[in-house]
Chain A
Amino acid sequence: MELPTLQDLNLAVTLPSMGLALWACVVLAVGLFLPERRRHWNLVLSLGGIVALFLYNLTLFDLPADRQSAFLGMYRADNFTAFVNLIALVTAFFGVLMAYEYLKRTHIDRGEYYPLLLISTSGAMLMGASGDLAVLFVALELLSIPLYIMSGLRRPNAASEESALKYFLLGAFSSAFLVYGVALVYGAAGSTDLSEIFHRVNAGLILDQGLLLAGAGLMLVGLGFKVAAVPFHMWTPDVYQGAPTAVTGYMSVGAKLGGFAGLLRVFIVALPAVSGAGDATGWQDTIALIAALTMILGNVVAIAQRDVKRMLGYSSIAHAGYILMGAAAAGSPDVRDFAVSASLFYLLAYAFTNLGAFAVTVAIEKDDATNPQLDDFNGLSKTRPVLALAMALFMLSLTGIPPTAGVVGKFFLFQAAVNAGMVWLALIGVITSVVSAFYYLRIVVNMYLREGPGEAQAQRSFLGVAVGLAAVGTFVLGVAPVLFLDLAQRAVLVALGG
């Protein structure tokens, strides 16, 4: 057997995800020996690792072709991966930053939180980088299992335990779907390598079209659970509500990011040639339908919510719908690259905005383990004007009102849909955006237009930094989107070789 050299393995390009996992082990080990009063080293080490890898990751854009894959095709180090890494590291950064005080305040300051979060992030990154269905599957588990544990950190709080158990059971269920789908696709195409599957499907070298379709469908179900697409969203509100708020914030972006990265990887790289109507791929209509349902249900049901985390849970379902719109548009070959970059940009915009919104929610949450309600925002603009301003910015961004990241992101997603000839889907998108204004504005109304105590629990510190950075990100992406759009545009998903 000929052994590949280290050069062939290209280990260096896998550093963002693999390095983060390794670093997590270091943080874990160091954390064991930290006395109570030096717990802040957990935070410092985690943030340091994230920032260092973020900077390193910036050098991984536009690698030469021979460095674009590692482990001989198992790991793809293209611009898509680099951009997903970028979003994931931003997410992890905020996830760590907004948890630090919160964990202390709610007496769940476990050292495990940080390594678990880092490993989960590396799972999300690995999903975006996977060049093989086997990697995709283990990456999905790597992303999910830490999240199950983190949701239950507030044990023996019943809501937290319920959240963890529900998330675990349904997560395991969805993994089963995914792995079953992988098995069927392997059975049909005779390979788990994404590029190889593409070439075999393209050349008609598949055993059974029905088997392939069934496999693709099952994978869509599995990934649909992860991104909380309708009708696989049922777990979301309960899990979001029950998990510790900082965890919910991280989960609302991290899990979706991984799910979408995997979804785009699989369906655009491996399965574009599955036959469909016209020159669009076969899964386009299905994903478009799911996107439409997701947008409608998420936005409509969110209106009725009084619990902030539950509302943001439904809101996150709605946003999954918008991103799915981009994924559906990517089913048209001409629009593919545009739609992929639009989806990635939106994910980044969503990351800043939603993490910011959760950071504010963490700030106003009381210490007595009750969930923040919409009325807790009453009068916040008088007691904490800056915090209220930031929250207003996040809400506007989620609605899609300028000058925020959200409006630019939505604009490109709708443009992708129109470009792919799916004006009806874009129409649903814009109408549901108006619907979403109902519930996002409610928070703004409570903060600015109503009187009330509206006292924030946390004082200005790490959490304040998180809110501030998220607000800056949300604003800058809205005013000068070109900074990141340029990177997102370089992300092109294609099969290797052939």
Chain B
Amino acid sequence: MENTPISLTTIVTFLPIAGLIVVLFINREREDIIRWVTLGTAVITFLASLGMVAAFDASNPGLQLETYYNWIPGFNISYHVAVDGLSMLLVLLTTFIMPLAVLASFDPIKERVKLYYCMLLLIETAMLGVFVTQDLFLFYIFWEFTLVPMYFLIGIWGSENRVYAAIKFFLYTMAGSILMLLAILWLGVNGDTFNLPTLLEKLASGALVFPEGVEVLLFIGFFAAFAVKVPLWPFHSWLPDAHYEAPTAGSVILAGVLLKLGTYGFVRFNLPLFPQASIDLAPVVAALAVIGILYGAWVSYAQKDVKKLVAYSSVSHLGFVMLGIFALNAQGVQGGIMQMVNHGLSTGGLFLLVGMLYERRHTKLMADFGGIWKVMPLFGALSLIIVLSSMGLPGLNGFVGEFTILLGSMGSNFLAVGFTVFAAVGVILAAVYMLYMFGKVYMGPVIHPENERLPGLDWKEVAVLVPLIIMIFWIGLYPTPFFGMMDSSVDALVTPYTAPGGSVTAAPELAPAPVAAGEAASVGLAPGY
């Protein structure tokens, strides 16, 4: 491939680094300037990503806004970044969450401010890089690099057990991704390229054929990395620790974006590269996902600590995402991607709420609160919206995602109906633990005198929460533009999995035959809103 000029994708990805370089030159005593420069960078990055949306052609299923540079010639490694319908929304999610995370850190972070904001900017570039890269080597680089800033965020600015949580986070995720490295190497060696589109072409044309049994192993290699990151049950045990110990912004980034790297990885790599293995293992993955949904919900209910409750609810929510993806049809995958965004907004929001409570009371135990609505009515109202969004109330964003996922898994050619039934139980459980938490913390009388004089929200906190609320309503009431963005790409993605006409009755053992894109497109339209 020829080198291309620098595209908007590259610019957006590396804008945070540009901001980082500016921050590096600021004296570390000038903390306010550092804060504002970081916020400015994050906002500019967000605006630039809106520019990407403007330039993005949703009807084109292929890669857009590409930058290709022959990075390491002779080793078949390129710097290749682009977006398509699968990644566009997630890029937006990242750039949207980051300014909020920065703003939410203004007051809580008082120590080593410069280092902190450098880490935030670094992790933004790393995450964006993961979403846009189209080269396996580059992907691995960005993927592993996300560990470093997050490790420091948890380890330096976290709570009491931060060192333990940081190391656990690092080692768990590194252990997972190292198997992926082997799979990447196998593909690179045998496919003679690390470029993902080229590999897919070779697979489609038969230039690269997996030997007997290898496809499943490669699937498992990628699976190991992504399942830990998601985290899929039973690989989740690092997550509650990391969430609990991380500073608020760290939790927001972790829940809002970082976990999506895993689910996104399944969509970007496992599904297109290993169709047969995906079909064979779909029930297994879906089973783990459903167990995760129920387990996460169950354990959430048992928590005494708000932050832990929210942390475990992530395990449950991401189970939904995984179920949708491995429904292996257009609705499931669309719902999955939508739910990634929704979880980012609502769980990110929940962590922000917990952070605000903690700033006022320096405790996260539910028993220490109660009657907060009376003391802080605006905060209570905003919290209610986010809580309802998280449990999937119709009319808010969570419902759109979960409902589409359930439709998808119901109509899946590869999953039995039982998965959908149990997942639906998970929806109810979510309502139980979320409302339980809401009742304990916000409702009832003010039982602790310390809670009587809590200050109301200041402008920064309002500025953080309002954009989230707007998005929660927007997606909940009018999701069509969001689905429209990924429609054609998702259809192209699931083409190998949908038998002609997309019939629900097609038997899984039939080899998936490629069908015309037009036919497949009729399958997965977003639920009519």
Question: A and B: direct contact (Cβ < 8 Å)?
Answer: yes
Please tell me if the beta carbons of B162 and A485 are within 8 angstroms of each other in the complex.
no
Determine the chain B residues whose CB is within 8 A of the CB of A426 once the complex forms: 182, 185
Determine the chain B residues whose CB is within 8 A of the CB of A402 once the complex forms: 140-142, 144-145
7 A–B pairs (Cβ distance < 8 Å), ordered by A: A381-B115, A411-B185, A426-B185, A433-B174, A448-B152, A449-B162, A485-B72
Rounded to whole Å, the gap between the CB of A443 and the closest CB of chain B is 12
- Size category, A interface: 20 to 34
Complex Cα distance, B145 from A382, in Å, reads: 23
Rounded to whole Å, the gap between the CB of A376 and the closest CB of chain B is 18
Binary contact track A195-222/B, C-beta < 8 Å → 1, others 0: 0000000000000000000000000000
CB-CB under 8 A for A449 and B189, given A401-B144, A481-B72: no
Please tell me if the beta carbons of A449 and B188 are within 8 angstroms of each other in the complex.
no
Complex Cα distance, B147 from A84, in Å, reads: 34
Determine the chain A residues whose CB is within 8 A of the CB of B428 once the complex forms: none
Interface flag for B44 (CB, 8 Å): no
Interface flag for B181 (CB, 8 Å): yes
Complex Cα distance, B184 from A430, in Å, reads: 12
Interface flag for B507 (CB, 8 Å): no
Interface flag for A191 (CB, 8 Å): no
Binary contact track A382-413/B, C-beta < 8 Å → 1, others 0: 10010000000000100001110001000110
Determine the chain B residues whose CB is within 8 A of the CB of A437 once the complex forms: 170-171, 174
One of B148, B166, B181 near A396 (C-beta < 8 A): B148
Which A425-448 residues have C-beta < 8 A from chain B?
A: 426-427, 430-431, 433-434, 437-438, 441, 445, 448
One of A403, A434, A441, A481 near B175 (C-beta < 8 A): A434
Binary contact track B156-200/A, C-beta < 8 Å → 1, others 0: 100000110011001100110011011001101100000000000
Complex Cα distance, B76 from A489, in Å, reads: 13
Complex Cα distance, B73 from A390, in Å, reads: 29
Interface flag for A423 (CB, 8 Å): yes
Binary contact track B114-154/A, C-beta < 8 Å → 1, others 0: 01000000000000000000000100111011011001100
Interface flag for B36 (CB, 8 Å): no
Please tell me if the beta carbons of A441 and B170 are within 8 angstroms of each other in the complex.
yes
Binary contact track B433-460/A, C-beta < 8 Å → 1, others 0: 0000000000000000000000000000
Determine the chain B residues whose CB is within 8 A of the CB of A485 once the complex forms: 72, 74-75
Determine the chain A residues whose CB is within 8 A of the CB of B170 once the complex forms: 437, 441
Determine the chain B residues whose CB is within 8 A of the CB of A448 once the complex forms: 152, 155-156
Please tell me if the beta carbons of A414 and B181 are within 8 angstroms of each other in the complex.
yes
Interface flag for A418 (CB, 8 Å): yes
Complex Cα distance, B152 from A438, in Å, reads: 15
Which A448-497 residues have C-beta < 8 A from chain B?
A: 448-450, 481-482, 485-486, 489
Interface flag for B210 (CB, 8 Å): no
Interface flag for A305 (CB, 8 Å): no
Determine the chain B residues whose CB is within 8 A of the CB of A85 once the complex forms: none
Binary contact track A361-393/B, C-beta < 8 Å → 1, others 0: 000000000000000000001100100000000
Which A58-79 residues have C-beta < 8 A from chain B?
A: none
Please tell me if the beta carbons of B182 and A486 are within 8 angstroms of each other in the complex.
no
Rounded to whole Å, the gap between the CB of B500 and the closest CB of chain A is 38
Determine the chain A residues whose CB is within 8 A of the CB of B148 once the complex forms: 396, 401
Please tell me if the beta carbons of B178 and A449 are within 8 angstroms of each other in the complex.
no
Rounded to whole Å, the gap between the CB of B127 and the closest CB of chain A is 14
Please tell me if the beta carbons of A449 and B171 are within 8 angstroms of each other in the complex.
no
Please tell me if the beta carbons of A430 and B182 are within 8 angstroms of each other in the complex.
yes
Interface flag for A120 (CB, 8 Å): no
Which B188-241 residues have C-beta < 8 A from chain A?
A: 188-189
Determine the chain A residues whose CB is within 8 A of the CB of B137 once the complex forms: 411
Please tell me if the beta carbons of A445 and B71 are within 8 angstroms of each other in the complex.
no
Please tell me if the beta carbons of B144 and A449 are within 8 angstroms of each other in the complex.
no
A414-B182, A418-B182, A486-B74 are known contacts; what are 14 more A-B pairs with Cβ within 8 Å? Answer: A401-B148, A401-B174, A402-B141, A402-B142, A402-B144, A412-B75, A415-B188, A423-B186, A434-B175, A437-B171, A437-B174, A481-B72, A485-B74, A489-B74
Rounded to whole Å, the gap between the CB of A27 and the closest CB of chain B is 39
Interface residues of A (CB under 8 A from B): 381-382, 385, 396, 401-403, 407, 411-412, 414-415, 418-419, 423, 426-427, 430-431, 433-434, 437-438, 441, 445, 448-450, 481-482, 485-486, 489
The interface centre, meaning the residue of A385, A396, A411, A486 with most chain B CB atoms within 10 A of its CB, is A411
Complex Cα distance, B75 from A486, in Å, reads: 10
Please tell me if the beta carbons of A445 and B182 are within 8 angstroms of each other in the complex.
no
Please tell me if the beta carbons of A482 and B178 are within 8 angstroms of each other in the complex.
no
Considering the complex, give the chain B residue whose CB is closest to the CB of A434: B175
Determine the chain B residues whose CB is within 8 A of the CB of A419 once the complex forms: 189
CB-CB under 8 A for A430 and B178, given A401-B148, A415-B188, A418-B189: yes
Please tell me if the beta carbons of B189 and A415 are within 8 angstroms of each other in the complex.
yes
One of A401, A415, A449 near B145 (C-beta < 8 A): A401
Rounded to whole Å, the gap between the CB of B46 and the closest CB of chain A is 24
Please tell me if the beta carbons of A449 and B72 are within 8 angstroms of each other in the complex.
no
Considering the complex, give the chain B residue whose CB is closest to the CB of A426: B182
Considering the complex, give the chain B residue whose CB is closest to the CB of A442: B167
Q: Which 8 A-B pairs have the closest CB atoms?
A: A430-B178, A402-B141, A418-B185, A402-B145, A449-B155, A434-B175, A419-B189, A449-B163
Determine the chain A residues whose CB is within 8 A of the CB of B145 once the complex forms: 401-403
CB-CB under 8 A for A403 and B72, given A418-B189, A448-B152: no
CB-CB under 8 A for A433 and B74, given A402-B141, A426-B185: no
Please tell me if the beta carbons of A427 and B167 are within 8 angstroms of each other in the complex.
no
Rounded to whole Å, the gap between the CB of B31 and the closest CB of chain A is 15
Considering the complex, give the chain B residue whose CB is closest to the CB of A478: B141
Rounded to whole Å, the gap between the CB of A311 and the closest CB of chain B is 17
Binary contact track B50-74/A, C-beta < 8 Å → 1, others 0: 0000000000000000000001111
Please tell me if the beta carbons of A407 and B144 are within 8 angstroms of each other in the complex.
yes
One of B140, B141, B155 near A445 (C-beta < 8 A): B155
Please tell me if the beta carbons of A430 and B72 are within 8 angstroms of each other in the complex.
no
Complex Cα distance, B156 from A119, in Å, reads: 46
Determine the chain A residues whose CB is within 8 A of the CB of B166 once the complex forms: 445, 449
Determine the chain A residues whose CB is within 8 A of the CB of B171 once the complex forms: 434, 437-438
Please tell me if the beta carbons of A449 and B181 are within 8 angstroms of each other in the complex.
no
Rounded to whole Å, the gap between the CB of B129 and the closest CB of chain A is 10
Rounded to whole Å, the gap between the CB of B475 and the closest CB of chain A is 34
Determine the chain B residues whose CB is within 8 A of the CB of A385 once the complex forms: 115
Please tell me if the beta carbons of A401 and B167 are within 8 angstroms of each other in the complex.
no
Complex Cα distance, B170 from A437, in Å, reads: 9
One of B147, B155, B178, B185 near A415 (C-beta < 8 A): B185
CB-CB under 8 A for A403 and B73, given A445-B155, A445-B163: no
Complex Cα distance, B185 from A426, in Å, reads: 10
CB-CB under 8 A for A441 and B72, given A403-B141, A418-B185, A431-B178: no
Please tell me if the beta carbons of B167 and A445 are within 8 angstroms of each other in the complex.
yes
